[in-house]
Structure 1
Amino acid sequence: MIRLLMSAILIAGLLQAGGARAETLQQANAALFAQLQKVHRLSAAQMERVQQIFARSGYMGQGNPAITRHPMTPEQCLSRLPGGIASYDHARNARICGDRFMAPLYDPRTQKPTDAKACIDMFEFPNIPCTYPVVWTKAREAAEVCAAVGKRICDAHEWEGACAGALEPPDYFFGLGSVAAMRSAHNAKYGPTKSWAYGPSFQRGICAQNSQKSASCGGGGYNSCGSNTYPTGAFPDCTSGLGVYDLHGNAAEHMNLPMAPDQMASRGSTKLGVTEMKGSWFIWDKYQAHPDWCRWRAPFWHGTRVMSPSSHENYHLGFRCCKTIE
């Protein structure tokens, strides 16, 4: 009965958020903050910190409302879910992870969910099904928001394990010294067994990848590029074996790529490594700019340290959080 009541409250909030178009980013973010606090039961102090990070950015949100044109509404997303919101609100996962809409990270070949030492958000931030992902986020801001809500930024191998359906031990080739060398060694190792969250080969039409790029979007500017994303979880078949959604399509995602063992977020580091952009984005069925198989590591595009004030942001770049289980 309690779960049904909470699902009804959540659905009402989603429908309210999907109603009249917000006229400004501030109005859109105010609705987002109310939804975030209600669904994840964040404290006043947590919400204040989140709002400070967004305000300092001036761009973070679900896209510039003046130009963004989402191809699907939250109401349409809800109608596509076979079991409604409740089908994603797993009580067992909540007990393991300590928050709603998170998935334990483990290797099903040798472990059980209760063996997990970390969890990952099932959906892109704000980690609420049928809600548009937050974009225009720097890697530093992603790390700060995750910390503000009691989580942390994910390490690259955690995202890759969530996508491939099995968390494997960290594989960073620290001794090679450079991002390029580490990346090449990793991709060479996993290339023969490449896979996507939904299966062993790339498929069109299965993920949030068939949207349109704004006609005015040339150089990637805030006032010319709409964040034309789908609601998170709108494609139920675009899920991994560990129950994580939208790892392909919708928003690309910031992760931490450690350059040394003491830069691993999963081991408690706060100084972190360099930026790693994971997944693909909302026009992928039309334009595949690079590989997007699960364990692929990208070149050091727009590369900085994760906590650099100048880390990259754009209209299709967001994040999701991880959480270490005590």
Structure 2
Amino acid sequence: MNRLLKLTLALGLALAPLPAAAQTLQQNNEAMLSEMQRVRGLSASEMARIREIFAGSSRIGQGNPAVTRHPMTPEEAAARQGGTVDSVRRAYRNARFERICGHPYEVPLYNPETERPEDARVCAFMFEYPNVPLAYPVTWVTAREAALLCWAEGARMGDAHEWEGAAAGQLLPPDYQFQLGSQQAMRAWHNAHYASQSNVYSIGTWRSGVCATGSFKTPGCNGGSFSGCGSNTYPAGSFPQCHSPLGVYDIDGNAAEHMNLPLNESQMASRGSRELGVTEMKG
């Protein structure tokens, strides 16, 4: 079974009191990585590869702690769902999907019109990376780092049609128009072909308050500064109704994901290629 990872880039936003003693980015990362290993059961060798990627970046993590102000803590998110952090994490587990995918917090991608979950040939993370419910998403990740983090634990970055299938609740065969010859022409064809779905979200019709869209920009943030823009995200899975029909959470709202847009067949990650196309930001 192939696996997809949801990797996130900073889309930051919100205001909250400054912690009495903000930890460094490295301290936050180590706490997050240790929790990731404990909750998801990753091996020591997988974690060593992941830590090496984190060590090579001065920005990757859950946001610059000097300016990030998360609008909700994991404990507050759990309380909204009537439990503790640990009990909510247990509730998010799905025994059937774990039998199919082989790991916790993954969902099979398939076409419900013609297939069962057991027919799936690929699984996706349920939550934004690190794929731990009620953990803050990892942000400030380059496209290359996203691909490396996927490969580090035996997974891969998803192709654009897989992300769209996860969002729509129906994984269909790819229909990339490679013969058009350019990213711009392919995007124009795609947007025209799917124009009737332009206002359809992973939750169906948009409903205010259902997804993690209530945060705010850091005052003075110009949209692209690590030092001036907080990754003010919610804990992943804070909004239990914000999921696609196939069970992927936070596709709309919170942080955006890196996805691979192949420009020719040799760049399709879904067919085993490690030569990727261009990065699309989704979500």
Alignment correspondent of 1:234: 238
Does 1:92 find its partner at 2:96?
A: yes
Which residue among 222, 225, 249 is the counterpart of 2:253? Answer: 249
1:184-263 map, 5 Å? 184-194=188-198, 195-199=200-204, 201-263=205-267
Q: Secondary structure at the match of 2:202?
A: coil
* Counterpart among 119, 126, 129 of residue 122 in structure 1: 126
Partner SS, residue 241 of structure 1 = coil
Partner of 1:59: 59
The equivalent of 1:26 in structure 2 is 26
| SS across alignment from 1:254 | strand
Q: Distance in 1 between matches of 2:21 and 2:130?
A: 19
In structure 2, give the amino acid aligned to 1:80: R
What is the CA–CA distance in structure 1 between the aligned matches of 2:81 and 2:131, rounded to whole Å?
A: 16
The one-letter amino acid paired with 1:196 is Y
Contact 1:22–1:28, Cα closer than 8 Å, also in 2: no
What is aligned with 1:68? 68
1:297 paired residue number: none
2:117 is matched with which residue? 113
Q: 1:276 aligns with which of 274, 277, 280?
A: 280
Say if 1:254 and 1:275, in contact at 8 Å, map to a contact too.
yes
Is structure 2 residue 52 aligned with structure 1 residue 48?
Answer: no
Q: CA deviation at 1:116?
A: 0.4
> Structure 2: which 5+ runs fail to align?
1-18
Task: Give the Å deviation of 1:267.
Answer: 0.7
Q: Identify which of 268, 271, 274 aligns with 1:267.
A: 271
Identity level (%): 56
Which amino acid letter does the alignment assign opposite residue 102 of structure 1?
Answer: E
Q: What's 1:180 paired with?
A: 184
Root mean square deviation, CA, Å: 1.5
Give the gaps of 5 or more residues in structure 1: 1-18, 280-326
1:10 alignment partner in structure 2: none
- Report the equivalent of 2:152: 148
CA 1:50–1:209 in 2, change beyond 3 Å: closer, same or farther?
Answer: same
Q: Distance in 2 between matches of 1:114 and 1:52?
A: 35
C-alpha distance 31-21 of structure 1, shift in aligned 2 (>3 A): farther
Distance (whole Å) between structure 2 residues aligned to residue 56 and residue 127 of structure 1: 21
> How far, CA to CA, are the matches of 2:76 and 2:226 in structure 1?
27
Cα shift at 1:20: 8.2
**1:248-271: CA deviation from partner (whole Å, max 9, x where unpaired):** 111011000001111111110011
What letter matches 1:173 in structure 2? Q
Q: Give the match's secondary structure for 2:173.
A: coil
Partner of 2:78: 78
CA distance in 2 between counterparts of 1:205 and 1:78 reads 17
- Residue 204 (structure 1) shift: 2.3
Inter-partner Cα distance in structure 2 for 1:26 and 1:240 = 33
